[in-house]
Structure 1
Amino acid sequence: MPGIALNPGLRVLVTAGASGIGRSIADLLIENGTRVHVCDVAEHHLADFRAAHPGHGASICDVSDEAAVGKLFDEVRKGLGGLDALINNAGIAGPTGGVEDIAPADWRRTIDVCLTGQFLCTHHAVPLLKQAGNGAIVNLSSAAGRHGYAFRTPYSAAKWGVIGFTQSLAKELGPSGIRVNAILPGVIRGPRMVGVIRARAGQVGESYEAMEQEYLNRISLRRMTGPEDVAAMVLFLLSPAGINISGQSLGVDGNVESL
């Protein structure tokens, strides 16, 4: 039976890989013998990654910027010599507010980073994955890509788009031996979720503590998910154990019942 040990020397790009969920993914992959290149928009996070992993690549890149993504892949080809897997992790929370109050520029920015960024990176990655003979793409969606999310319409729309993108790619790239899946994290411990809960509490006039409990009450396991749990799912999907998993939307969320 196949195990979850990765093939030696696997070459992986993790977008937004210098902090948060992306950093947990990169750390776990490196721990398991993978050659990793990360990109991020925050130079201080990249500096921290470089200090921790001096043998691995790190690039500044906004994935919504077409020219910046092209430069990123020039650096990936130079540093890794090819690519075996792409982890499309980059995303932003976007605005919290009623649809009539959300600025069109904030809508576009959320879609550009959370959805178009995945297209741009995949556009450049697929020729490298085909050259490698096989490969895998893991797209980060969200529980918001399965449930409607009041007052977070730009984010939810983008994450639903990721599901359609994933399923379409799985059909398109399967004959080339490339597996494509989406991971749907739920309420993830960390500063971004603190900001989301605080913004939602302000929107409806509740305390932070009351709103946090509301979020927990919508999770069957009544607990937040750690970024390390998402990283473990990525490890599984890139391993031989995930060789026949493609086109799937995999929740790592304690069973979020609603948002």
Structure 2
Amino acid sequence: MKVVVIGGTGLIGTNLVARLAEHGHEAVPAAPSTGVNTLTGEGLKEVLQGADVVVDVSNSPSFADDDVMAFFRTSTGNLTEAAKEAGVGHYVALSVVGTDRQPDVGYFRAKVAQEQLITESGLPFSIVRATQFFEFAGGIADTSTTDGVVHLPGAGVQPMAAADVSAAVGRTAAGSPLGGITEVAGPDVLGLDEWVRTVLTARSDPRQVVTDPQAPYFGAVPGPEDLLPGPGAHLAETTLAAWLAHDSRP
């Protein structure tokens, strides 16, 4: 079947396109660099022609509250309308575990708005909520660093490898529409501070990670379980230790 992957040139999208192709599907990466722009609508009609499934793994170029909300509302609105016009039979979107528990985080509010647009679109859909990616640990450390010290709360997280996220999204895209939300997560529960500290240590990053219960995570202090998946989540197999063994970054 033909699967159009919006955001198909990014971290998740590139891996997803390759996986779908390996399983015999016609996987088409769609992004501004390929002539498809969900904000302006450019190229949407053309790329969705004959598509059986559309998968949205795109992301906002800016995480500022107003920017990210405008991105997901505009992009998702354009994409759902184009998908309906093209007769797409399955709309799949990647979202984030805990979006509905962190209303003070602008990015999460925008993802909730995206999910609502999809559920109200009338399209057969599946939403895959994933936990944080192992690959994001360095970026989280950077945004949480003050005077060379990383401040993070000990809130529970269940991070996972980006490759496992792609696999989960691919399985969902190849299946029947769920008409709801499924969650995927890593195999182990860690403290947010513990996770980032482990990655920095493995990379010989000299920054100290201080456990600070009041430290914000992208603008809000998460509760102990706000970032954890609920019962019934699909757990990936790749552990943090296994991922670090193949981590090529310094």
* 1:73 paired residue number: 45
Cα distance in 1 between the residues matched to 2:95 and 2:73: 9
Q: How does 1:116-131 map to 2 (within 5 A)?
A: 116-129=74-87
Once the two structures are TM-superposed, the CA of residue 20 in structure 1 deviates from its matched residue by 0.6
Is 1:180 the counterpart of 2:125? The answer is: yes
Does the CA-based 8 Å contact 1:94-1:155 persist in structure 2? no
Higher strand proportion: 2
Q: 8 Å contact 1:90–1:113 — kept in the other structure?
A: no
Q: Do the aligned residues in 2 keep the contact of 1:70 with 1:124 (CA within 8 Å)?
A: no
- RMSD across aligned C-alpha pairs, in angstroms? 2.7
Q: Does the CA contact (< 8 Å) of 1:166 and 1:247 recur in 2?
A: no
Q: Does 1:232 align with 2:167?
A: yes
How many residue pairs get aligned? The number is: 191
Question: Using the alignment, how far apart are the partners of 1:21 and 1:193 within structure 2?
Answer: 16
Equivalent residue in structure 2 for 1:147, among 71, 76, 101: 101
For the pair 1:18 / 2:9, whether they are aligned, the reply is yes
1:246 to 178, 186, 193: 178
Corresponding position: 1:63 with 2:38: yes
* Cα offset, 1:94, TM superposition: 4.2
**Contact 2:6/2:56 (CA < 8 Å) preserved in 1?**
yes
Structure 2 residue corresponding to 1:88, chosen from 51, 56, 70:
56
Render the CA deviation track for 1:16-67: whole Å, top value 9, x for unaligned: 11121111211111111111221234x5xxxxxxxxxxxxxxx144422x2x
Aligned letter for 1:115? R
Q: In the alignment, is the contact (CA less than 8 A) between 1:17 and 1:25 conserved in 2? A: yes
CA–CA distance in structure 2, aligned partners of residues 22 and 122 of structure 1: 19
Residue 136, structure 1, aligned to residue 102, structure 2:
no
Q: Judging changes above 3 Å, is the alpha-carbon distance between structure 1 residues 189 and 40 closer, same or farther for their aligned structure 2 residues?
A: farther
TM-score by length of 2: 0.66
Kept after mapping to 2: 8 A contact 1:20/1:227: yes
Task: Assess, with a 3 A threshold, how the Cα gap between structure 1 residues 198 and 144 changes in structure 2: closer, same or farther.
Answer: farther
Does structure 2 retain, via aligned residues, the 8 Å contact 1:85–1:129?
A: no
Q: Is the 1:189–1:227 contact (alpha carbons within 8 Å) kept by the matching residues of 2?
A: yes
For 2:65, the equivalent position in structure 1 comes to 107
How far the C-alpha of 1:147 sits from its partner, in A, is 2.2
CA contact (8 A) 1:145 1:162 kept: no
Distance 1:189 1:73 in 2: 35
From the superposition, tell whether residues 199 and 229 of structure 1 become closer, same or farther in structure 2 (CA, over 3 Å). Answer: same
Contact (CA 8 Å) 1:94, 1:154: kept in 2 or not?
A: no
- Structure 2 distance, partners of 1:227, 1:63, is 23
Question: What code does the residue aligned with 1:155 have?
Answer: Y
Q: Which runs of 5+ in 1 are unaligned?
A: 1-9, 44-58, 96-105, 174-178
Tell whether the 8 Å contact from 1:139 to 1:182 is kept in structure 2 after alignment.
yes
- Letter of the 1:83 counterpart: A
Decide whether aligned partners of structure 1 residues 187 and 144 sit closer, same or farther in structure 2, where only a CA change above 3 A counts.
same
User: Which residue is equivalent to 1:98?
Assistant: none
Q: Report if aligned partners of 1:12, 1:87 keep a CA contact under 8 Å in 2.
A: yes
Measure, in 2, the Cα distance between the counterparts of 1:199 and 1:154.
15
Structure with bigger helix share is 1
Q: Which amino acid aligns with 2:17?
A: A
Report the CA distance shift for 1:11/1:195 in structure 2 as closer, same or farther (over 3 A): same
Judge conservation of contact 1:140–1:183 (CA < 8 Å) in 2.
yes
1:189 paired residue number: 134
The structural deviation recorded for 1:73 is 2.9
- 2:149 pairs, out of 198, 207, 210, with 207
